Structures are given as structure tokens and as C-alpha cells.
Structure 1
Amino acid sequence: MSAPVLTLTDVHLTLAGNAGPVDILKGISLTVNRGETVGLIGPSGSGKSSLLMLMGGLERATGGEVRALDHDLTAMDEDALARFRRQNMGVVFQSFHLIPTMTALENVAIPLELAGNKDAFDRAKAELVEVGLGHRLDHYPSQLSGGEQQRVALARAASPRPALFLADEPTGNLDGSTGQAIMDLLFALRDRHGATLILVTHAPELASRCDRIVRLADGRLDATVPA
């Protein structure tokens, strides 16, 4: 069996709400192996996106331990987490989170520049060509369709050659055919980089493409679905 790339042990997440503390995640324990693709499913409010954010160190657990690539994310400060993500993770959201004043090429190159890559723009161009946007390098997000913006986001996520891809409803803002094309690209990028992919989705047909499906219900793993 492959070595674990991600391990969650009795993870809890409690956030402040208007009526008091709200328990979002309640004792999640989960292991994801290197190279595996995992679909996170469950009803709205079940904690899927929160769990993904914990896996990426974008949210901090209030209990338990999150280990990624044998690093304890729960023990890192914000700067260390940012460096770790930049070097090891590619994150794709439903909203594209592109910088509107930067071209497609600049949006993909900026995290590489921050990581000190001397070939940042060459690699960014190669990634944009890989997702079919070699002719749109100098276009700004407002000049791109939704599908094109998500392709830029995919190129940005793939450019550091991450060990771990995290995707939160990456087709949620796209029509059916465009969404299908984006998912094909995401799986192709994952295969090309030999990365682990964890995908939050409401779409059963997308989850079925994963090696394993993990279902959440009310902040807990649903024992009725083999994990």
C-alpha cells in the first residue's frame, strides 16, 4: 500500500456563531494515501468544504491533528503554512480567485515568483498551454469566460508541481459541458503530476471518477459509505 499523504486524527472544528459556538466537524479520522483520488460528498452544511480547508491548512482545527506529507499542520504558524502550501499543494475553488489586475500569465506566475522560481514565467506559460490557453496569456480575467478563468486557476494550482491537489466544487459556477471539460483537465493534471486529488463535489458522476468516496453527514464521516 502507498504511504499516507494526509492523515487526520480525531479532528474537530468549532466556530463562533451568533447564538454561540457551532460544531462544524466532530471527530474526523481519515487517511489518504499517496496518488489516491478521493471524492468528498454530503449534503450542504455537512462540513465538506471545512474539512478540505483543514486539509490545506486554510482553516485551523480546534482539536485533533492534521498531518500532510508528514508535517503537522496544526503545529504550524500562518507563515509556515503558507510556505508549505506554496511548495506542496494546489488548491482550486468554485470561485476562481484570480487577481483582476493581472493577466492570465501573471496570475499563474505570481506564486512561482513568491517561491523563488527563476523560470516562473516560462513554467507559467507551459502550464497555460497545457490547459489550452496558450493564446490567452495576456488577457485579464474580465476578458475570459468562466471556463477559461477556471483553466487559469487550474494552471496556477498545477504550476508548483504539487503533491496534493485540493478542489472545492471546481465546476460549481460552470455549465455542464464546460464543467466536464474542467474535470477532465483536473484529472489529467493530477495524472501528469502523479499527485493526490481530494475533490469536494455535489455531483455523483464526478465523485464516481474517484478511487474512493467519503461521505460526510452533520460533521461526521457517514459509516454507511465505505471510506
Structure 2
Amino acid sequence: MTETTPADQPLVVAEKVTLSLNGAAGQVDILRGIDLTVAAGESLGIVGPSGSGKSTLLMILAGLERPSSGRVAVAGQEFATLDEDGLARLRRDHIGIVFQAFHLIPTMTALENVAVPLELAGRNDAFDAAAAALDLVGLATRQGHYPGQMSGGEQQRVALARAIVARPRLLLADEPTGNLDGATGRSIIELMFDLNTRLGTTLILVTHDDGLAARCHRTVRVEDGRIGA
């Protein structure tokens, strides 16, 4: 049974989250006690220098990386109680992710790429929902095209459609415009903020662009594995 988050509770909770990795030079502390809550429907910008831990934090919030210690919960589900299959189901039901790289399957059309997560979930309406998601990002006429036949901006729109096709409560974006030119990147960002407004999707955006982050309801800065004051 899918858990839900009460209206007065945050959608995302991270408490005292740490991540340490052992390497040839010894232990490396990447995150050093992160505390963060994000309300349903909020947009949050995460900024900070390269290597500060902001992308790692996003991966932990997505359930793609396990913290060394601390508590993480999304949509009322405690990550510590979930195995890898449980985390995969959580992402399927509640979390959409957009990366800097598009991660599209080159042998599949735009429609097929977007339908994949719904097909894996056993949805009978996978292709109808995928077509609607592509329409939402302005690619209704490109459903039958393969990634190699599309521009970078179009491929990122397909990736965004795939991320939101299941209408997730949480959309995580890690430098989503990093591989795009300025005008194309701005159009992708406009789409993401529009989805945040129209669908009430909670948006957490990792970016080097302080101006872009300032468009969010709130901004936090990660430095040396900690959230600054």
C-alpha cells in the first residue's frame, strides 16, 4: 500500500545525513550532516561550488545513493526501511529525475523512451500517457523520431517528459541545462517551473547558476558537504 504525506508534513525530509567513502588516500567525507525539509509544491534551488556535495545530496534524495548515516524520507516513506526494489518502486511512483546527460535509449523512439517507466509498471495506458507527456513539453509531432534525429534541446524535452509521465510528486533536476545552449536551456527551465506551478510538482534543482536558483521559492547553498547558514 502506497503511503501518503499529510498536508501539514514536508514531502522531503533529510536529517543529519552523512556520506563517507573509503579510497586509496583514506576516508573522504562528502556530506557532513545535512538537514533539509522541502514542502509539497515548493521549488528549491541547491547551489554551491563543484565538489561541494550538492549532486550527491540529490542522488541520496532520489534513493540512488545510500547515506552513511542519517534519515531520509520522501512522501512519507522512510528510505531506511526500503530495499533496492522498494526504492525503485518509490521512484516509479513518486520521483522523476532529470540529469545533465539525457540517458535516452537510442534504439527507441521518443514515444517509446517516455513510455518505458509506465510499461515497467504494467500500465495499460503507457503509450497514451507518454503521448500526453510529449505534448506537454511541446513534442507532439516528434513522437516517432529517434534520439539521433533530434537536437539536444529536443532530447532533453524527451527526458523531461519521461521524468514527469507518471505525474511524480517530486522532480529532481541535476544541472539539466548543462549540455544545452543558452536559449534552449532557458526553454527547458521554463517548462520545469511551469510544471511546478501547473501540476503542483515539488521541484529540487541543482545548479551553478545563482540567478536560476533565485527563481525558486527558496535557495540553499552546499559548501564542503554542509548546508550553509
Query: For the superposition of Structure 1 and Structure 2, which TM-score range results when normalised by the shorter chain?
Result: over 0.9
- Percentage identity across paired residues of the two chains: 61
Distance in 2, Cα, partners of 1:86 & 1:191: 21
Residue aligned with 1:80, SS = helix
* Separation in structure 2 between the aligned mates of residue 95 and residue 178 of structure 1, nearest angstrom: 15
Amino acid at match of 1:98: L
Moved more, 148-157 or 16-25: 16-25
| CA deviations over 1:111-134 (Å, ceiling 9, x no partner) | 011112111000100110111111
- 1:188 Cα shift? 1.1
What is the DSSP-based 3-state SS (H/G/I as helix, E as strand, rest coil) of the residue aligned with 2:88?
helix
Match of 1:156 in 2: 162
Corresponding residue for 2:3? none
Q: RMSD over aligned Cα, in angstroms?
A: 1.0
Does 2:200 align with 1:209? no
Tell me, in whole angstroms, the C-alpha distance in 2 between the residues paired with 1:74 and 1:21: 23
Runs of 4+ residues deviating >3 angstroms: none
Q: Specify the code of the residue in structure 2 equivalent to 1:81.
A: L
Shift of 1:192: 2.3
Map of 1:131 onto structure 2: 137
Equivalents in 2 of 1:111, 1:8: separation in Å?
Answer: 26
* Structure 1: gaps of 5 or more residues: none
User: Aligned partners of 1:62 and 1:74: how far apart in 2?
Assistant: 11
| TM-superposition CA deviations, 1:30-82 (whole Å, max 9, x none) | 11111110000000000000000010101001100101111111331111100
Number of residue pairs matched? 223
**Distance between the aligned counterparts of 2:24 and 2:158, measured in 1?**
37
- Is 1:66 equivalent to 2:72 in the alignment? yes
Q: What SS does the aligned partner of 1:199 have? A: strand
Per-residue deviation, residues 72-108 of structure 1 (Å, max 9, x unmatched): 1133111110011011011000001111111100000
TM-score by length of 2: 0.95
Q: What is the TM-score normalised by the length of structure 1?
A: 0.96
Kindly provide the amino acid, as one letter, of the partner of residue 130 in structure 1: L
* Offset of residue 206 of structure 1: 1.0
